[in-house]
């Protein structure tokens, strides 16, 4: 482990100046950073636009089916990432939102991956992808903040599944997510559901971890 806080890395990835000391990889509007073999994928700058423009068609990848747009994002950055990694050393991957989706895809094929940490990441693949992921990737933490809608798209009815278990902030503490807790919170807070996207912003995740002072500090 390198001692970096992945949430801080994700927040810095949105800064125009990027992550201090990291290799800055940009392909068009796509961006990632590599710092001491920690790969950080930047998410979209506008979550509302990203949700509106969601293209959820499946494409084949690693013997399964995944979201074509997420895969294209990752693959555009892959060559630069591979050139920036130190060989024969552990690799850690993190990302927020779209960056979290890319992190999950990258973990399936980048060398020496030891851990993945995502924040507000959407589903990226079908049931077979989820099964393969859990076999191939050693350790993954996927965090969901309250009413954040992004982790619940693309919809399970379309064949998408989460690749790893979710850890969920219920407003007072972080807990392991069961299949009903988002629905319960949504019903409890239905009056504010139309503003749910506010829970997706990286600042809201920082506030959630600051609120729960008993939560274990995250490092990679």
* Average pLDDT estimate for 51-57: 62
The per-residue pLDDT for 210 is: 87
Share of the chain above pLDDT 70, in %: 85
Query: 6-211: which CATH architecture?
Result: 3-Layer(aba) Sandwich (3.40)
Helices (H) and strands (E) in the chain, counts: 7, 10
Least confident of 75-79, 169-173, 197-201, 202-206: 169-173
The per-residue pLDDT for 175 is: 79
Q: List the one residue out of 113, 62, 108, 115 whose CA is nearest residue 85.
A: 113
Give the residue ranges of DSSP H helices in the chain. 6-13, 47-52, 68-84, 98-106, 127-136, 181-188, 202-211
* Strand order, beta sheet including 174-176: 23-27, 30-35, 38-41, 91-96, 113-119, 140-145, 166-169, 174-176
As a whole number of angstroms, the distance between CA 187 and CA 197 comes to 16
pLDDT digit string, tens, across residues 100-146: 999 999 999 999 999 999 999 999 999 999 999 999 998 999 999 98
219 — pLDDT class (breaks 50, 70, 90): confident
Which residue in the list 97, 195, 204, 212 is annotated as catalytic? 97
Is 76 catalytic? The answer is no
* Average pLDDT estimate for 29-52: 79
Over the range 43-64, which residues count as b (16 or more CB within 10 Å of their CB) and which as e?
bbeebeebbeeeebebeebbeb
pLDDT digit string, tens, across residues 90-105: 999 999 999 999 999 9
The per-residue pLDDT for 48 is: 39
Q: pTM of whole model > 0.85?
A: yes
pLDDT of 155 over the 80 cut:
yes
pLDDT of 71 over the 90 cut:
yes
Structural domain boundaries of the chain?
Answer: 6-211
pLDDT of 172 over the 70 cut:
yes
The per-residue pLDDT for 52 is: 34
The per-residue pLDDT for 131 is: 97
pLDDT of 63 over the 60 cut:
yes
The per-residue pLDDT for 171 is: 78
Encoded tokens for 77: 């950055």
Chain centre distance of CA 80: 19
Is 97 catalytic? The answer is yes
Which residue in the list 12, 13, 148, 204 is annotated as catalytic? 148
- Dihedral sign of CA atoms 98, 101, 103, 109 in order: negative
């Amino acid at each position: 482990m390198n001692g970096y806080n992945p949430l801080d890395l994700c927040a810095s990835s949105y800064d125009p100046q990027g992550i201090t000391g990291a290799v800055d990889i940009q392909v068009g509007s796509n961006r990632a950073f590599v710092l001491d073999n920690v790969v950080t994928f930047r998410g979209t700058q506008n979550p509302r636009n990203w949700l509106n423009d969601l293209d959820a068609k499946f494409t084949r990848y690693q013997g399964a089916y995944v979201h074509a747009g997420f895969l294209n994002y990752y693959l555009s950055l892959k060559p630069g990432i591979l050139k920036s990694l130190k060989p024969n050393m552990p690799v850690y991957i993190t990302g927020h939102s779209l960056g979290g989706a890319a992190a999950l895809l990258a973990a399936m094929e980048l060398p020496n991956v030891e851990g993945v940490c995502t924040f507000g990441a959407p589903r990226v693949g079908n049931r077979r992808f989820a099964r393969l992921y859990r076999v191939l990737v050693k350790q993954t933490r996927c965090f969901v903040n309250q009413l954040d809608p992004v982790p619940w798209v693309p919809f399970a009815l379309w064949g998408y599944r989460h690749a790893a278990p979710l850890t969920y902030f219920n407003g007072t503490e972080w807990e392991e997510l069961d299949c009903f807790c988002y629905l319960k919170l949504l019903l409890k807070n239905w009056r504010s559901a139309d503003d749910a996207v506010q829970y997706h912003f990286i600042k809201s995740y920082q506030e959630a971890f600051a609120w729960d002072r008993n939560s274990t500090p995250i490092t990679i």
